[in-house]
Amino acid sequence: MLKLFYSPGSCALASRIALEDAGADYEVVRVDFAKGEQRSPEYLKINPKGRVPALVTGKGILTETPAILTYIAQSFPDAGLAPLDDAYALAEMQAFNSYLSSTVHVNHAHGRRGARWADDESSHADMKRKVSQTMARPWN
Ligand SMILES: N[C@@H](CCC(=O)N[C@@H](CS)C(=O)NCC(=O)O)C(=O)O
């Protein structure tokens, strides 16, 4: 059975929705960010990047939302979650998901986790203020 490591209110929701829409047999394991469980030695064995989502499959553990979403779409083709028989349309879908994951999500993270990019508190406040601009205009 597939096992999704998940945290409420996180980007792991996309993978959970896809599993649900696919009609997959899966279980969810909650990773509690408030307790810092994403950095626990146990969880780092699941995903050394210390992030959710992570999907445990029969072949191994997948991370990164675009990869997980494509894996689910291909594993449950009858659910019609992705245009699997159209190379261009599938690439467009990947482009959109990759943009959300690698650009929008990273911009958003600067507001909440500024300490990853700077040590000075004033820099954190500055980054937080900048988030809405970069969300609206990612080239900023
Ligand atoms: N590029 C990854 C991003 C994963 C990610 O950063 N997830 C966040 C939740 S939305 C997380 O686990 N944050 C915990 C942390 O940064 O400590 C993806 O697309 O799945």
Q: Whose CA is nearest to atom 2 of ligand 1?
A: 64
Residue 62 Cα to ligand 1 midpoint, Å, equals 13
- Sorted by where each begins, the domain ranges of the chain are 2-79, 87-136
Residue 52 Cα to ligand 1 midpoint, Å, equals 5
Q: What is the pLDDT of residues 10-69, one digit of tens each?
A: 999 999 999 999 999 999 999 999 999 999 999 999 999 999 999 999 999 999 999 999
First to last CA, the chain: 43
Who has greater pLDDT, 134 or 81?
81
Tell me what the pLDDT averaged over the chain comes to: 94
Residue 122's SS3 state is helix
Is the CB of residue 35 less than 8 Å from the CB of residue 45? Answer: no
The pair phi, psi for residue 79, each rounded to 5°, is -75, -15
Same fold for the pair 2-79 and 87-136: no
Which H, E and C letters describe 35-79, residue by residue? Answer: HCHHHCHHHHHHCCCCCCCEEECCCCEEECHHHHHHHHHHHCHHH
Q: Whose CA is nearest to atom 5 of ligand 1?
A: 51
CATH of 87-136, one of 1.10.10.10, 1.20.1050.10, 1.10.760.10, 3.55.40.20: 1.20.1050.10
Is the CB of residue 122 less than 8 Å from the CB of residue 114? Answer: no
Q: Which CATH class is domain 2-79?
A: alpha beta
Residue 7 Cα to ligand 1 midpoint, Å, equals 10
pLDDT above 70 (res 140): no
CA 70 to chain CA centroid, nearest Å:
12
